[in-house]
Amino acid sequence: MQRMIVVLTLALLIWSFCPVIANSEIKKEPLKIGFILVGRGNDMGWNYAHNQGRLFLEKAMAGKVTTTVIENVPESAEVERVIEKLIAQGNKLIFTTSYGYLEPALRAAARHPDVIVMQCQRCVPPSVTNVGTFFVRQYESYYALGVVAGKVTKKNKLGFIGGHPVPILIAALNAFTLGAKSVNPTIVVRAVWLNTWEDGTLEAEATKGLIDLGADVIASELDSSMTTVKTCEANGVYSIGFGADLQKLAPKSWLNGQGFNWGPLYIKIAQSVIDHTWKAGNYLYSIKDGYVGLLSYGKSVPVDVSNEANKVVREIGSGKLLIFKGPLKDRDGNLKVKQGKVLTDKDLSGMNWAVAGVEGSIAKK
């Protein structure tokens, strides 16, 4: 009898704790996620696109995640300090969103193996277990934008303003040139590198300089295309933007631009962390995956031109159109890609040469 009483007592105790256990699971703490931006989250460009993705994530996974964003963090050791601050605040997943963040992010992550860092762009070695990278083949959309530029130019002279001559931007420049020359073989593209991601004065000067050299279509890949787009509008030449739709700022000159859709990818990554299925690696996505693509066509783009560019996007996504397929020569006439060969992602990650038709320096970096 006494043994039965003990058994019943234990059963009652276990039963009484069941709701507590269930409630503790229901009230599981949300995953804290930190974002580090090199510029302002409202810059209507690169940082704006990432911040919009963060807000999308926060809304879609309300109750499951919370986010913190720190803006205007330079590509320096300052990144380590900011990561340490985010970790001290309890963030277990951190997105480092600028090209030059990788090295300091790796150093900080090595001190905190229980924290996951996702770097936008670049690659990490297989030995690193708590850092991954993500990016898109942005050169794919630049090829389509080149088709648009090649169709609307009257002078057969295009301009391209880049922040830094890193392989990703050089690949974008080359794809833009190849796309333009696919519909207009006489085209030349003048490239200007500012060696900074953001400097309004330099951006305006570079745009005006390209206009003076005869360019009537100018593309830019900077933190924001606002200055170049406004300058193009004021001077009556066409513009191609980056990161955000700026058609309202340039109703006459806007052609299109490259846009990002980071939100769904952020959800995918965050959910994998929550589910404990996240794996380190270098993840690169195509235009068909939907994380990168064209923005809106401006009123100056004829329907037949937009239709042709959209067809190009579909062919790239399906694999029918291979942008960097040989034979390809550099602008000095050297054969860089043999007949039938296609450059791999690894090849493109080290691209430091310009295709025929590109003018201006391509400094190695």
SS3 letters for 26-37? HCCCCEEEEEEC
- 159, 299: one domain: yes
Nearest alpha-carbon partner for 46 in 169, 177, 159: 169
Residue 10 lies inside a defined structural domain of this protein: no
Residue 20 lies inside a defined structural domain of this protein: no
Residue 283 lies inside a defined structural domain of this protein: yes
- 172, 283: one domain: no
Total number of domains constituting the chain: 2
**pTM for this prediction:** 0.90
- 144, 131: one domain: no
Residue 11 lies inside a defined structural domain of this protein: no
Count the neighbouring beta carbons within 10 Å of the beta carbon of residue 108: 24
In 282-365, where does DSSP find H-type helix? Answer: 303-318, 345-348
Give the residue numbers spanning the domain of 119.
31-137+262-289
Nearest alpha-carbon partner for 238 in 129, 160, 172: 160
**CATH code of the domain containing 178:** 3.40.50.2300
pLDDT of residue 286: 97
Residue 68 half-sphere exposure, CB side, CA atoms within 13 Å?
18
**Which residues of the chain register pLDDT less than 70?**
1-27, 363-365
Residue 116 lies inside a defined structural domain of this protein: yes
Rounded CA-CA distance 220/229 in Å is: 9
- 119, 158: one domain: no
Residue 90 lies inside a defined structural domain of this protein: yes
Rounded CA-CA distance 131/87 in Å is: 14
Rounded CA-CA distance 98/100 in Å is: 6
Q: List the 31-36 sheet strands across, edge first.
A: 65-70, 31-36, 93-96, 116-120, 131-136, 282-285
Residue 111 lies inside a defined structural domain of this protein: yes
Helix (H, G, I), strand (E, B) or coil at 265: helix
pLDDT of residue 362: 82
294: CB partners within 8 A, 6+ apart: 141, 144, 145, 256, 257, 258, 259, 309, 310, 313
